[in-house]
Amino acid sequence: MNSGKIIRTALVALPVGLFVLGMVAVVVTHVSPKSLHHSQDENLGKNLESARMTQRPVNAGDLKLLVETLSSRIGERNLEKQDSLKKAAVWVESTLGPSNAGYPIRRQAFDVGPDKVWNVIAELRGNSRAKEFVVVGAHFDSAPGSAGVNDNGSGVAALISLARAFAGSQQARTIQFVAFVNGEPAYFETNAMGSVNFAAEAKREGMKIEAMIDLNSLGVFSDEEGSQQSPAGLDDKFPSTGNFVAILGNADSGEMAEMARDSFFRASPIPTVAGSFAEKIPEIHRADHASFSKKGFPAIVVTDTDKLRLPSADSLEQIDFEKLESVVKGLKVVIETLANP
């Protein structure tokens, strides 16, 4: 073959080869495997030293930037704002993925009418008890007409910060950090809800979920008397000052909620209310943790109580990022305790 033919062949083959490699990369990164149990890239999971280099301590500055990116730069995100909803999912993937936090990422995709949506799963493979799972989740969508600053920008920021803090670490149980799609009340207990799909598939596969923690609105605090409302019939459960976080389960998760409270205190001075009465609170009883409880998995929700404290928290100025940092540091100890029984 003469030199001219070689050059022409190379010019044709090079872009074709790059295209094929690109398509392979998309498939490897984004096609959801059939099983929720295992990382799709085992080599990445084993390369703890490399992942450990991406670790970041929980800090208020990062939390603020994450909430700002999700609520201001991406903005309202729901089935009525499909482009933004998908942009939010891809942003979570990129932020936690191999090039940033070092996690293998997979999508759990499903159809809602004509639209395809997906949960984002980042996994830290356990060692001695790898087939037992701790799921940490937060929904990344927002209500129609809302930028979703506190509900649930603060929860997603906490999720990402926790994943970064655990990157490359060794835990006994496997931890899955999951960003759920469609967690707003309009989708509660329907097949459009991301956590309903995750919990149902986990049950079908026999996945051994030992604990699920739902992060749902975590950033609003007030020291003013009367800043906290109580649901009807629960006046004796909540203080009248909104300076605490609630760690709540349904009737079968009270022990887990109390254990979480005790672990939380080891790293955070933020007051807590813990108990097994989540199902008695209309504002939160059907949130993502309930999808797991209904399938028999132990699950709790950690929340500032959302609209019981501030009916509409949709600006960065309403978030106390220093206290949010303290909450997330407390949650890190809770997760460590659950992952290493």
pLDDT truncated to tens, each residue of the chain (341 aa)?
444 444 344 433 433 343 333 333 333 444 444 567 655 445 544 567 778 889 999 999 999 999 999 999 999 999 999 999 999 999 999 999 999 999 999 999 999 999 999 999 999 999 999 999 999 999 999 999 999 999 999 999 999 999 999 999 999 999 999 999 999 999 999 999 999 999 999 999 999 999 999 999 999 999 999 999 998 889 899 999 999 999 999 888 999 999 999 999 999 999 999 999 998 888 788 899 999 999 999 999 999 999 999 877 789 999 999 999 999 999 999 999 999 99
- The H or E element spanning position 324 is helix 321-339
Question: Is residue 131 domain-shared with residue 280, that is, in the same domain?
Answer: yes
Q: Do residues 46 and 105 share a domain? A: yes
Q: How far is 211 from 300, CA to CA, in rounded Å?
A: 8
147 in the same domain as 45: yes
- Contact between 152 and 194 under an 8 Å Cβ cutoff? The reply is no
Beta-carbon contacts of residue 216 (< 8 Å; ≥ 6 apart): 138, 139, 151, 152, 155, 183, 284, 287, 288, 289, 301, 302, 303, 306
Q: Domain containing 270 — which CATH number?
A: 3.40.630.10
Assess whether 49 and 12 both reside in one domain.
no
- The per-residue b/e assignment along 38-61, b for 16 or more CB within 10 angstroms, e otherwise, is bbbbeebbeebeebeebeeebbbe
Judge if 3 and 119 occupy the same domain.
no
| Same-domain check for residues 83 and 26 | no
Give the HSE-up count for residue 262: Cα atoms under 13 Å, Cβ half-sphere. Answer: 8
The pLDDT of residue 88 is: 98
- Total domain count for the chain? 2
pLDDT of res. 334: 98
* Range(s) of the domain holding residue 23: 1-30
**Residue 57, SS3 per DSSP:** coil
